[in-house]
Amino acid sequence: MNASHDVLVVGGGLVGASLAIALDRLDLDVGLVEVTPPGALPPVFDQRNLSLADASVNALTALDVMRHLRAPTGAIREIHASRKGDFGRVRMRAADYGRQTFGQVVVARDFGEALEARLATLTRLRRYRPARFLGARADADGCTVRIEAEGGEHLLRSRLLVGADGTRSGVRDALGIGTTLHDYDQTLLVARVRAARGPHGIAWERLTDHGPTALLPRGDGHYGLVHGVPTADADAVLGLDDAAFLARVQDVIGWRAGRLLEVGPRSAYPLQRVVAEAIIAPRAALVGNAAQTLHPIGAQGFNLGLRDALVLAEAIAAHPGDAGAERVLQTYAHRRHEDRGRTLAFSDGLARLTSNPSAMIRPLRSLGLLALDADSGLQAQLAGGAMGYRGEVPALCRRSAP
């Protein structure tokens, strides 16, 4: 199995698979190390609802991924955000900014199947699966990477090693890159719900002391629910019967979508912020959750990770000949600095501000909501970020065709 690649990507999830597809356009020899065997999807491709920003939809259309979706997507044409216990609200319409939508909602499993269908068309990609990353050592010409596959240990050589292996990244640990961690003490419960009124392109978000509760418009006429609860209460809330659970969510979200009638299976995800102290090392780069795991408020996580992947591909294309050269890595790190920093600050700041129960904060927060709703300039900045147009935007994000 010992082989050599221009780029070796560890992690075949949302961002890793997207990067492999983007790199295929550059006529490179690419390897993809995946823990799941052929015919199976990584656990990340579950029933969660992904909000793909407009910029991400453009890029995934250009990469010929969106065409492989078998289930309809849900268009987000309007966003309505408020906070329980505060006055004021923010309402934004995509049409006010010359756009048809802010983005699209897809079910993670449907998106995973579309990525898998697109990966299957790549003739230059070599997939190692099931395989487990064991370690790596960099030298002047590349990385020697150890993997476990086919019952034994194997060595691979690559000009560039990319860690796309999630929040608990083994590649990041092997590179000696530290992290900063913040536990929000919140758990996000995810499910599909049916309401008396259809979504009609509106995303409802209600902020509370214990995190966001949101109804996202799905393409099947249902809503994708995310419901933040204190981590200490997560098991008890998961254990509620359907009627009690719906009553709890109804109390938080109100009657904006009418009566909530039905809920599907529920899943729970503890919320932590894990940020790598660097996104490059000699002959290596981090992308997606390996580089940063965000609070899901504002739905920025995958969209930010996809922009990581696209910028890395652009940096490699701009300096052909050696995908892991120092100039490639420095270009990647420089171009990701503004978008990454601003998105991290926005996500974390919003999560902490909106969940702060202090009585002193509430009037100021309410005034902020009123000011944001009335100020078209501030709204435009917020809308641009929500659609993925922040910092130096990758070229594929600005168009919807190859």
Condensed to tens digits (0 to 9), the pLDDT of residues 172-225 reads 999 999 999 988 888 989 999 999 998 999 999 888 878 788 999 999 999 999
The per-residue pLDDT for 380 is 57
Tell me the residue ranges of DSSP E strands in 36-77: 49-53, 74-76
Please determine, for residue 402, whether its predicted confidence score (pLDDT) is greater than 70: no
Spacing of C-alpha 176 from chain mean position: 24
Which pLDDT band holds residue 351 (cuts at 50, 70, 90)?
Answer: low
Domains of the chain: 3-180+272-398 (3.50.50.60)
Characterise 280 by phi-psi region: left (phi > 0), alpha (psi -120 to 50), beta (else).
Answer: beta
Instruction: Tell me how far apart the alpha carbons of residues 80 and 265 are, in angstroms, rounded to a whole number.
Output: 26
Please determine, for residue 254, whether its predicted confidence score (pLDDT) is greater than 80: yes
pLDDT tens digits, 305-342: 999 999 999 999 999 999 999 999 999 999 999 999 98
Positive or negative: CA dihedral 221, 222, 224, 228? positive
pLDDT tens digits, 9-65: 999 999 999 999 999 999 899 999 999 999 888 888 888 889 999 999 999 999 999
The number of C-alpha atoms within 13 Å of 172 and in the hemisphere containing its C-beta is 24
Q: What is the maximum alpha-carbon separation in the chain?
A: 63
Burial class (CB in 10 A: 0-12, 13-18, 19+), 321: exposed
pLDDT tens digits, 51-60: 999 999 999 9
**Is the peptide bond prior to 199 cis by the omega test (within 30 degrees of 0)?**
no
Residues 316, 366 contacting (CB under 8 angstroms): no
Q: Which of 314, 25, 280 is nearest to 161 (CA)?
A: 280
Which pLDDT band holds residue 369 (cuts at 50, 70, 90)?
Answer: very low
CB neighbours of residue 366 within 10 Å: 17
Residue 167: DSSP 8-state: T
pTM reported for the whole predicted model:
0.90
CA angle 47, 48, 51 (to 5 degrees): 135
Please determine, for residue 375, whether its predicted confidence score (pLDDT) is greater than 80: no
Please determine, for residue 299, whether its predicted confidence score (pLDDT) is greater than 80: no
pLDDT tens digits, 117-160: 999 999 999 999 999 999 999 999 999 999 999 889 999 999 99
Instruction: Tell me how far apart the alpha carbons of residues 312 and 7 are, in angstroms, rounded to a whole number.
Output: 11
Instruction: Tell me how far apart the alpha carbons of residues 214 and 205 are, in angstroms, rounded to a whole number.
Output: 4
Amino acid (one-letter) located at 84 = K
